Structure formats: structure tokens, C-alpha cells
Amino acid sequence: MPGFNWKVRCWVARMLVAFALLLGGPAVAAETVRIVALGDSLTAGYGLDAEDSFPAVLKAELRKRGHDVEVVNAGVSGDTTRGGLERLDWAVPEGTDAVILELGANDALRGIEPAATRANLESIVEQLVARDIAVLLAGMQAPPNLGDDYAEAFNAIYPDLAEQYDVLLYPFFLAGIAAERHLNQSDGMHPNESGVEAIVERMIEPVEALLAAARGVEAAEGTALER
């Protein structure tokens, strides 16, 4: 994704922490960065205690790294991209600096046409960008039982939109976790506590890049590196 190197952005974010500590000021910025995690059950923390959900674990890890952040859990179990679009205005209130957008898994599970999923996600991203909210788009992948044509159309949605709107992309939210029995609950679909920790560990650098984007730090020109 041209011009949006998240590794550069997270390096800049870390440098901000270091400079602030040297100067004796606040950890990274004068104001708290407010992130909304907009998603489905994977964000909401289905089957987990609130403190073990993705937003809560992410917040704890970011604060451990010196970032002054709030991470709001706007996950709704069973939500589709259409549901996320319909609740966007109240789920992402004024004062939000950044959004981690994790939707689409339920669309694929229900076999919703990829064109409809694309249109819903595009509308969400377009509205967020128009509000000057930094976006990290967390990709999903279609189940193999839906066939190659469906998977090709569905899986392309996320990189296409990230490029079109010049937003950050994490290609697959469940990368390294999907199909790993020891990282999932008994349903085989939702991460357990260890699975959530693994997601946060894998996503932390892209999220630090999101923080840099929310603070208006421009990435260096070049080709984006993806996990």
C-alpha cells in the first residue's frame, strides 16, 4: 500500500515516547488518544471476561508501552458490516481519534454477497476518513467451503479498500490464531484468553502505526510492509 508504511509509523511513535520521557513530559502526547474498536464478537470478547477482550488487552499493552490511550469496546456479537454501518454514528462518537475496524466475518459465515459487504465497509471507511479519524482496517478471510470465486471476491475487499482510501491494513485479524485449537474456545471460532493475547502481540506494531497516524505523523514515502 503505497505511502503508508506502518513499520515507519510505529518507529515514529516509539521515538515520540522516548523524546517525551527525556523531556520529562507526558508519555507520548498532551492528550489521550481515543481508539474505538468497531467489530463483532471477535472484538466484543464473546465467551470471555471483559478484561480479557481484545480492546481491554490491547489497551493494557499500549499503556505498558507508554502510550496514553483509551480503547473503547464497540464490538457487538453477531454483527455484520451492515449492522456496523447502521450504528456507526453512535458507536464512533465525536472525539474519537482512531478506529480499528474489524467486521465481515459474519457476512462470510452467512454467505452475504461480497459486493454488499464491500459497499458497507466502503461507506464506513469513507465516513471515518471524512471525519479525519485514523483507520486500521482488520481484514477477514472467507471460509473455504464457500468456494474459490466467493473467497477471491471477499478476500480482496480489505486490501482494495485500504489502498483506495489510503488507510492502514492488517491483512487478517485471526492470522496465526485461526484453526489453532489451543488458541480458541471450544467452538473453534472465537479466541480464548491466550488467543486474544496472541492477536494483540501480532497487531501491536500496526496499532502503534495507527496511533502515529492519529497524531498526524506522516509516514515516509515507500512501499508498505505487511505482516
Catalytic residue positions? 41, 187, 190
Asked whether the beta carbons of 40 and 107 are under 8 A apart, the reply is no
Q: Which three cell numbers stand for residue 80?
A: 455484520
Residue whose entry in the numeric block shows the C-alpha cell 451492515: 82
Angle between helices 157-165 and 148-155 (to 10 degrees): 20
Exposure of 123 by Cβ count < 10 A (0-12 exposed, 13-18 middle, 19+ buried)?
middle
| Distance, CA of 75 to CA of 40 (rounded, Å) | 5
Q: What does the buried/exposed string (b/e) look like for 142-163 if buried means 16 or more CB atoms within 10 Å of the residue's CB?
A: beeeeeeebbebbbebbeebbe
